[in-house]
Structure 1
């Protein structure tokens, strides 16, 4: 009975996008591990941007710095 928890930043993911994630993860577990889709649980948590950090920075500041960095 797999349980998958997907955490994404709250940036207006649509119901269709979330449904695609749930379907895709369920199919992957069935294909790779032969898990029964009927007993596979997928939960999507949306986290506020100010509650998510990367590299010691809030995610929005991290992204600003990444986009300003020379490539």
Structure 2
């Protein structure tokens, strides 16, 4: 049996919609850099999935973020 290669990390980032493509580019560049540096893996092995969420679909403490606080 061949030894299994370590599975490289996949990050799921959920955040309110509205960030620009440039902000997302910077985010994934930094997360990738720090992950590769910390884990000793290649940057090409790091996956990042960004999900934009509407405030009406996110709740904290039983209250939607789309409602006045």
Q: TM-score, structure 1 length as denominator? A: 0.78
Whichever structure has more helix as a proportion of its residues is: 1
- For the residues of structure 2 that align with 1:4 and 1:32, how far apart are their CA atoms? 15
| Residue in structure 2 matched with residue 59 of structure 1 by the alignment | 65
Could you list the runs of 5+ residues in structure 2 that have no partner in the other structure?
Answer: 1-7
Q: TM-score, structure 2 length as denominator? A: 0.80
8 Å CA contact retained: 1:2, 1:35: no
Could you list the runs of 5+ residues in structure 1 that have no partner in the other structure?
Answer: 66-71
Moved over 2 A (4+): none
Superposition RMSD in Å = 1.2
For residues 23-67 of structure 1, the C-alpha deviation after alignment (integer angstroms, 9 at most, x for no partner) is: 011011112222221111011100111000111111133xx43xx
- For the residues of structure 2 that align with 1:8 and 1:40, how far apart are their CA atoms? 19
